[in-house]
Amino acid sequence: MKAIITGIQAETLTPFAYHSLMVQGGTATLPELVSDQALMFGLAATLGMMRSSVCLPTKDYRRDMEAMPWRASVLMTEQPRLLSPVVRRLNLTEEAGYKRRIQDVVKKGNLKDFFTTQEVPLGVVFTGALFGFDPFAYSGQDELVIRIGLHRNGMLRLRPVKVEQVRLNAATAALFGHELSVERYLLYGLQLTERMPVKDALQAVQQWN
């Protein structure tokens, strides 16, 4: 991996959601960050590096990230915001109704057909860094749009910017068999290290292969 550091400023152009946290009656998104994995995969898709098929391969993040020419830090924001909950309906009865077995379960109240999601609004700005690759120089674009979130409905505009300090995801490091100290445990796949200068972060991620 080359020793290139590209600071990234990412702005949401549409709301996006993940089922990150369980809350009463549904799920909420973690409002303060975009994970490094979302950034890496989103960028690979935008730069045309994914296979051109709608069928997905078996899930193996290590295999896929190893093949990418970059590693990334987590994108963080200083002003986390969430939209109010949106109600979603599990619409299974529209055609053909339920099978008898499911009907019994529904009648006992064991199927939640209404649930809520909470999205990160548009106009939130995140910053982080990409290591080993400069996608802007490579593609000749001043900005790139990547897709993140459920159903890839969240559009994120990436622009180059100067970044001093970043947080890495220790869970990604663990995939590559490296241990980093964790300052904040958010989810199993999102474990933040403390802030570190980008140069140190570059040294750390250069070992992820």
Partner 1 sequence: MKALAPYLANISALTTESPIDDKKTYIHPKLKNLGSISLVLIREAVAPVVFRNAEQEITDIEWLDDLYVRAVPNKFKYIERNRGLQILRALGIGGRLPQNKTVLYKGQNPSAAFDLNTLVFGDSANYDNRVLPVRAAVNYSDALSLLPKDKCVDETFHNRAMEDGTLFDAESKKNSDNLFTRHFIKPGTLMVQVLSTRGQVLPEIGLKHLLLSVGMAGSYGGQTSVTGINIRTHVVGLYGGKFEQAITSPYELLRGLQGRDANDVLAAKASLHELLQAAHELVIQGDEVAAWQTDLIAAFNQSGSALEQEYRQAQPHVAELFDQWFQ
Q: List contacts with partner 1 (CB under 8 A).
A: 13-15, 44-58, 63-64, 66-69, 83, 85-88, 91-92, 94-96, 116, 121-122, 139, 141, 143-145, 147, 151-153, 155, 157
CB of 133 to partner 1, least distance (A): 8
**Among 159, 132, 143, CA closest to 65:** 132
117 near 25, Cβ under 8 Å? no
CB of 123 to partner 1, least distance (A): 8
Of residues 144 and 170, the one with the C-beta less far from partner 1 = 144
Cα 182 from Cα 74, distance rounded (Å):
13
Of residues 139 and 203, the one with the C-beta less far from partner 1 = 139
Residues in contact with 22: Cβ distance below 8 Å, sequence separation at least 6, in sequence order: none
CB of 110 to partner 1, least distance (A): 18
168 near 180, Cβ under 8 Å? yes
CB of 187 to partner 1, least distance (A): 20
Of residues 130 and 192, the one with the C-beta less far from partner 1 = 130
- H/E stretch holding 72: strand 71-72
